[in-house]
């Protein structure tokens, strides 16, 4: 983040009480940190809400502990929001990365489509997605009860509040994979499925209907068929890193 060389950056760090040395490691960067919150929370979404309540900027974004921005990312983000004043949410692409931070296969944000999103076939690369303050406020922030896909629910809430989405064909961030990441946790698998199902129902505005699973499958197959080799490379890295198929 600090290597972005962006002139107007407000960096907020939220730590829920980690015991892995994160606080000590972060301390050496304190001159560049606008706010540093170290206290207990009810989960990642609650921690993010605490951070965003301190934020004063007009363009917001967030990084989970394993993720990082690519060089010149923030300059590109600022340019897009300045050029496209009607855009509320802007997403670029990213890379999957190894624990060493070596970049792996690319991961692409889809062009926003509300219907495809409601059927699980429109994905935004979270660390490469930024949004205006007004969109975050209209969505009333993160649902702190969502323990697994809080970012996905935020996109849904912003869309339901009328936000305008834009995709950019540039690479802005990386998502680091390792054996201890939240994506690896088998204990959260059932919760992830429940949380995702709830978000998709919210987007549809109704309970699941008889044909929804078929429509979801058709949308996903169509998406896969357009870029089969690209998708397989992503899945193979997820398998080799997390020891599971996504």
The tens-digit pLDDT sequence of the chain (246 residues) is 555 767 889 999 998 766 565 666 666 677 778 888 888 888 999 999 999 999 999 999 999 888 999 999 999 999 999 999 999 999 999 999 988 889 999 999 999 999 999 999 999 999 999 999 999 999 999 999 999 999 999 999 999 999 999 999 999 999 998 665 555 556 678 899 999 999 999 999 999 999 999 999 999 999 999 999 888 888 888 887 777 655
55 in Cβ contact with 136 (< 8 Å): no
Residue 20 forms part of a structural domain: no
> In 3D, which of 1, 179, 176, 185 has the Cα closest to residue 96?
176
Residue 138 forms part of a structural domain: yes
Residue 168 forms part of a structural domain: yes
Residue 182 forms part of a structural domain: yes
CATH code of residue 116:
3.90.550.10
Name the token pair of 143. 């649902």
- What per-residue confidence (pLDDT) applies to 95? 97
Q: How many domains does the chain have?
A: 1
Residue 177 forms part of a structural domain: yes
- What per-residue confidence (pLDDT) applies to 20? 60
Residue 163 forms part of a structural domain: yes
> Measured between alpha carbons, how far is 10 from 60 in angstroms, rounded to an integer?
10
DSSP summary character for residue 4: G
Residue 150 forms part of a structural domain: yes
Residue 21 forms part of a structural domain: no
Domain span at 167:
66-242
Name the token pair of 18. 């980690």
The helix, strand and coil proportions of the chain, stated in percent and rounded to the nearest 5, come to: 45, 15, 35
- For strand 67-69 and strand 103-107, is the pairing parallel, antiparallel, or unpaired? unpaired
> In 3D, which of 138, 141, 148, 143 has the Cα closest to residue 197?
148
């Amino acid at each position: 983040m600090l290597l972005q060389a962006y002139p107007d950056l407000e960096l907020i760090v939220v730590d829920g009480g980690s015991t892995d040395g994160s606080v000590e490691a972060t301390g050496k960067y304190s001159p560049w940190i606008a706010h540093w919150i170290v206290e207990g929370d009810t989960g990642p979404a609650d921690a993010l809400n605490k951070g965003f309540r301190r934020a004063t900027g007009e363009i917001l974004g967030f990084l989970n502990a394993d993720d990082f921005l690519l060089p010149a990312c923030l300059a590109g983000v600022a340019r897009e929001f300045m050029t496209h004043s009607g855009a509320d949410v802007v997403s670029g692409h990213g890379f999957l990365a190894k624990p060493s931070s070596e970049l792996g296969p690319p991961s692409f944000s889809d062009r926003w489509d509300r219907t495809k999103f409601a059927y699980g076939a429109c994905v935004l690369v979270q660390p490469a997605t930024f949004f205006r303050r007004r969109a975050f406020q209209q969505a009333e922030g993160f649902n702190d009860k969502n323990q697994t896909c809080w970012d996905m629910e935020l996109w849904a809430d912003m869309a339901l509040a009328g936000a305008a989405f834009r995709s950019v064909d540039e690479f802005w961030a990386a998502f680091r994979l390792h054996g201890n990441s939240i994506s690896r946790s088998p204990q959260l698998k059932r919760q992830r499925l429940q949380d995702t199902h709830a978000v998709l129902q919210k987007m549809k505005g109704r309970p699941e209907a008889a044909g929804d699973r078929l429509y979801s499958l058709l949308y996903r197959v169509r998406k896969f068929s357009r870029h089969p080799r690209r998708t397989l490379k992503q899945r193979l890295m997820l398998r080799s890193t997390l020891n599971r198929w996504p």
